[in-house]
Amino acid sequence: MKSLVRLVVLLGLLVGSLGWFGMSQSAMAAPMDWTQVTGQSSPVLIAEAEYRNSADDKLGTEFGKKVDLNNSDVRDFLQFSGMYPTLAGLIIQNATYETVEDVLNIPGLTDHQKELLQANLDSFTVTEISDTFTEGGDRYNAGVY
């Protein structure tokens, strides 16, 4: 039995090493007709194509420059002293806002919290709610660690 296994292994090694002895096969590939794939006479690189999604489009607006009260998560308020996490959580819990000034009407705000909000109103914006930014629990835990 051992000699049979040795013979099979030896034959496998010989057949597998035939390429080393000049008996290899060259690869044959059919030329691709790009006009059927792209409708153009020359191939188009995928890297050249520009793909955009709703998040990219929204980041190109005021949302990318200011903190959006309707779409931002609590960590976006870290840049404002005294807002994270308590006031940021209140802002998110009471969203949606029609105007930036609506944030001052959150029930239960202290005078100090209202002063903080008033001082930073020019750093906020309000846009239409987008599922891309508000879906699930991402507004409370954006998964950035």
Q: What is the pLDDT of residues 42-91, one digit of tens each?
A: 555 555 556 667 777 777 776 668 899 998 889 889 999 999 999 999 99
Question: Residues 6 or more apart from 86 whose CB is under 8 A from it?
Answer: none
Burial per residue of 61-91, b for 16 or more beta-carbon CB atoms within 10 angstroms, e otherwise: eebeebbbbbbbbbbbbeebeebeeebbebb
- Supply the pLDDT for residue 32: 59
In whole angstroms, give the CA distance from residue 97 to residue 6.
79
Instruction: Please state the pTM of the whole predicted model.
Output: 0.58
Question: Residues 6 or more apart from 44 whose CB is under 8 A from it?
Answer: 38
In whole angstroms, give the CA distance from residue 142 to residue 145.
9
More confident residue, 64 or 36: 64
pLDDT at 4 over 80: yes
Query: Which ranges of 46-125 would DSSP assign to H, the alpha helix?
Result: 54-59, 86-93, 111-119
> Both tokens of residue 28?
């044959």
Cβ 127 vs Cβ 98: under 8 Å = no
